């Protein structure tokens, strides 16, 4: 009998009757609830939802949060997303306002390849509810220009192009942990050594890795700038972006605070982990809410 009970207990451990698709945590990794996330999000000026681009749980929770905030804020919700670039704002606004078709949006807005499965539900809800939807990301050709030639290359672009990005000159703090980690990753063995010459000047590869971080920064700064340009008192601006753009309270959040130190910002960081009941200590202080998702969750692409 004792052996039977032991075997039954082991089976309960191995095969949990409950299979939650996610678990939310506080910055100190204390389990928390969606109700608390919603309550704090509704009280925030800006919510930065750091997603994993191919994770269906992220996209589903973004949609639920959008719907619930629309109900809570009663018309004082604004949406924004990294997935739409600032030069496509007219196309996005026309669609959300019901003036154009889905086919016209696709032809005009350079939609991401996973738009249909991952972002169309939110865009269509914005259209249904007439929620303002802001294209916040810098046009990709300018981010690419910075990654290849540095920020000084933006001095040569047109006035119209400059109106589609954060005001120049742009301050970039490459000592921030996120940008520093990015440069270290880019300068690893797979990318070749970087550093300085004997005369103390940066090597070509060091310049390249620094420019890669600066390209990330022009995206972060532009998203922050257009969030603030479209945020009015009493509103909550829900912004969707890749996790790297806001985790550790850096990226977009850092640029927001440079301009508006007293802004009430709430961040969410998405993390895949083997056991959502046992988050690693390395996941501490990633954001105001940590979204833990099973590592074997299916992907949208």
Looking only at the bridges linking them, the beta strands covering 265-273 and 46-51 are parallel
| Residue of 132, 107, 90 whose CA lies nearest to 123 | 132
The answer for residues whose C-beta is within 8 angstroms of residue 150's C-beta and 6 or more apart is 207, 210, 211, 214
Work out the burial of residue 298: count CB atoms within 10 Å of its CB; fewer than 13 is exposed, 13-18 middle, 19 or more buried: exposed
Secondary structure of the chain: what % helix, strand, coil (to 5)? 50, 15, 35
pTM exceeding the 0.85 threshold for the entire prediction: yes
92 contacts 105 by C-beta, under 8 angstroms:
yes
The answer for residues whose C-beta is within 8 angstroms of residue 74's C-beta and 6 or more apart is none
Quote the DSSP letter at residue 38. Answer: H
| Residue of 187, 258, 189 whose CA lies nearest to 217 | 258
pLDDT of the chain, 301 residues: tens digit per residue: 555 555 545 445 555 568 899 999 999 999 999 999 999 999 999 999 999 999 999 999 999 999 999 999 999 999 999 999 999 999 999 999 999 999 999 999 999 999 999 999 999 999 999 999 999 999 999 999 999 999 999 999 999 999 999 999 999 999 999 999 999 988 765 444 445 444 554 454 778 899 999 999 999 999 999 999 999 999 999 999 999 999 999 999 999 999 999 999 999 999 999 999 999 999 999 999 999 999 999 999 9
Question: 169: cis peptide before it, omega within 30°?
Answer: yes
Task: Report the top-level CATH class of 20-147+218-294.
Answer: alpha beta
The pLDDT, as a whole number, for residue 63 is 98
The pLDDT, as a whole number, for residue 9 is 52
Axis-axis angle for helices 56-73, 120-129 (nearest 10): 10
- Helices and strands: H and E segment counts in the chain: 11, 8
Axis-axis angle for helices 177-186, 204-229 (nearest 10): 140
Looking only at the bridges linking them, the beta strands covering 31-32 and 46-51 are unpaired
The pLDDT, as a whole number, for residue 191 is 47
40 contacts 265 by C-beta, under 8 angstroms:
no
CA distance 208 to 185: 12
83 contacts 115 by C-beta, under 8 angstroms:
yes
The answer for residues whose C-beta is within 8 angstroms of residue 245's C-beta and 6 or more apart is 48, 50, 82, 216, 219, 220, 223, 251, 252
The pLDDT, as a whole number, for residue 192 is 46
Cβ of 246: how many Cβ atoms within 10 Å? Answer: 32
Residue 288: C-alpha distances to residues 43, 77, 246, 248, 284 (Å): 13, 20, 11, 9, 10
């Amino acid at each position: 009998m004792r052996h039977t009970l032991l075997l039954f207990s082991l089976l309960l451990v191995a095969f949990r009757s409950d299979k939650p698709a996610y678990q939310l945590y506080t910055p100190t990794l204390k389990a928390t609830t969606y109700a608390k996330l919603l309550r704090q999000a509704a009280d925030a000026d800006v919510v930065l939802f750091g997603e994993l681009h191919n994770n269906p749980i992220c996209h589903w929770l973004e949609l639920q949060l959008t719907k619930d905030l629309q109900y809570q804020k009663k018309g004082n919700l604004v949406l924004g997303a990294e997935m739409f670039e600032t030069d496509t704002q007219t196309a996005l606004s026309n669609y959300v306002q019901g003036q154009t078709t889905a086919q016209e949006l696709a032809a005009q807005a350079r939609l991401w390849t996973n738009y249909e499965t991952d972002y169309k539900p939110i865009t269509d809800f914005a259209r249904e509810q007439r929620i303002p939807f802001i294209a916040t990301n810098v046009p990709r050709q300018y981010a690419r220009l910075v990654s290849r030639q540095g920020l000084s290359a933006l001095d040569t672009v047109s006035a119209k192009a400059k109106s589609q990005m954060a005001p120049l000159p742009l301050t970039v703090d490459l000592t921030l942990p996120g940008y520093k980690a990015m440069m270290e990753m880019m300068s690893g063995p797979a990318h070749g050594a970087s550093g300085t010459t004997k005369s103390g000047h940066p090597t070509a590869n060091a310049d390249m890795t620094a420019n890669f971080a600066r390209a990330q920064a022009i995206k972060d700064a532009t998203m922050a700038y257009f969030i603030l340009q479209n945020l009015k008192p009493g509103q909550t601006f829900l912004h969707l972006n890749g996790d790297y753009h806001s985790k550790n309270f850096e990226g977009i959040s850092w640029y927001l605070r440079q301009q508006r130190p007293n802004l009430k910002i709430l961040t969410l960081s998405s993390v895949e982990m083997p056991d959502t009941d046992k988050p690693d200590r390395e996941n501490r202080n990633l954001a105001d809410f940590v979204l833990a998702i099973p590592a074997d969750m299916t992907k949208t692409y």
